[in-house]
C-alpha cells in the first residue's frame, strides 16, 4: 500500500518527539535574541530549531481599549439600555 511507505518514510525522516526549552529574555530592538546560558546549555550543538516568540500584551494599548469601550457605553442611547443585561 502507498500509505504504508509514505508513513514509514515520514517517521524515518522526522522525529515525532519535541524537546522544548523555555526562557524569558529582554527585547532590545536588535535583530538578535539573547539566549540565557542556562537555556543555551540545553540546546543541541547543531540541527534545526523552531522558534516561537510570545510577547506580553502592550499595557498602553489595553488601557486605551478599555477607555474606548467605556466611552462607547456612555454614548449609548437610552433605547439601547435593553442590551445592558446581555453583558
- Res. 85: pLDDT tops 80: no
CA atoms 69, 70, 71, 75: torsion sign: positive
What's the pLDDT at 7? 60
Q: What is the pLDDT at residue 10?
A: 58
pLDDT score of 42 more than 80:
yes
Do residues 39 and 23 lie in contact, with contact meaning Cβ atoms separated by under 8 Å? yes
pLDDT at 37 over 90: yes
Q: Which three cell numbers stand for residue 50?
A: 523552531
pLDDT at position 1, please? 47
Name the pTM for this structure.
Answer: 0.45
Amino acid at each position: 500500500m502507498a500509505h504504508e511507505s509514505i508513513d514509514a518514510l515520514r517517521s524515518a525522516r522526522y522525529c515525532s518527539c519535541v524537546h522544548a526549552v523555555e526562557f524569558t529574555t529582554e527585547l532590545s530592538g536588535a535583530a538578535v535574541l539573547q539566549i540565557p546560558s542556562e537555556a543555551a546549555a540545553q540546546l543541541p550543538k547543531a540541527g534545526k530549531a523552531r522558534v516561537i516568540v510570545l510577547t506580553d500584551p502592550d499595557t498602553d494599548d489595553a488601557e486605551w481599549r478599555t477607555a474606548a469601550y467605556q466611552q462607547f457605553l456612555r454614548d449609548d442611547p437610552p433605547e439601547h439600555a435593553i442590551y445592558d443585561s446581555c453583558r
